[in-house]
Amino acid sequence: MVASHLLAHPNRFVAQDRMLTDTVRWGTVDSTSLRLMGQIGYDELIEAAASSGYVAPDLGGIWATAPYLHNGSVPTLWHLLHAEDRPERFWIGGHALDYEFVGIAGEIDEAGTYVYPDGYEPWSRPFLYDTREPGRSNQGHEFMTSSEAGKRALLEYMKVK
């Protein structure tokens, strides 16, 4: 049997005007924060540079890392693929995983909040994530215009990445 190994990840940088996800994180990396990182020795641990966008992440094990996008603003992979249905507010913490939608298990309540399934008892204190707060926008990464069947296939593929 031949096993596959990841030999390199290209660190593909995607500019803001293409990705359109929240700008706050890349915006905080400027000459001042880079200088401070140097002063505390943090620059020996990460390679940081000022830019205007994000690097596409490796999707290996993505099924286990909800919520999604760099700011954790999207509760499931299904919502990532259905941008128009991403919830404005959702609970996170002590949640159960949903293996069909892939991510935080929940449902939309009458106020439009993505809440834990009826009767579910979180095992740690949950936090209400509100995408209207600064740095928490759930916009962008909306260019997957595939059919519903195509999105379903992508979701199944990401489960085994």
Which stretches of the chain bind ligand HEM, using CB under 6 A? 14, 18-19, 21, 54, 56-57, 59, 62, 65, 68-70, 77, 80, 141, 144, 154
143 and 151 in contact (C-beta within 8 Å)?
A: no
The nearer residue to ligand HEM, 63 or 120, going by C-beta atoms, is 63
Nearest approach, Cβ of residue 119 and ligand HEM (Å): 29
Residue 152, phi then psi, degrees to nearest 5: -60, -40
Nearest approach, Cβ of residue 53 and ligand HEM (Å): 7
The nearer residue to ligand HEM, 59 or 108, going by C-beta atoms, is 59
In the chain, beta strands by DSSP E: 13-15, 53-55, 89-92, 97-98, 103-104, 107-108, 113-115, 127-130
Nearest approach, Cβ of residue 25 and ligand HEM (Å): 8
The nearer residue to ligand HEM, 20 or 34, going by C-beta atoms, is 20
Nearest approach, Cβ of residue 6 and ligand HEM (Å): 16
The nearer residue to ligand HEM, 21 or 116, going by C-beta atoms, is 21
Residue 41 DSSP code: T
* Count of C-beta atoms within a 10 Å radius of residue 107: 12
Q: Maximum Cα–Cα distance for the chain, whole Å? A: 53
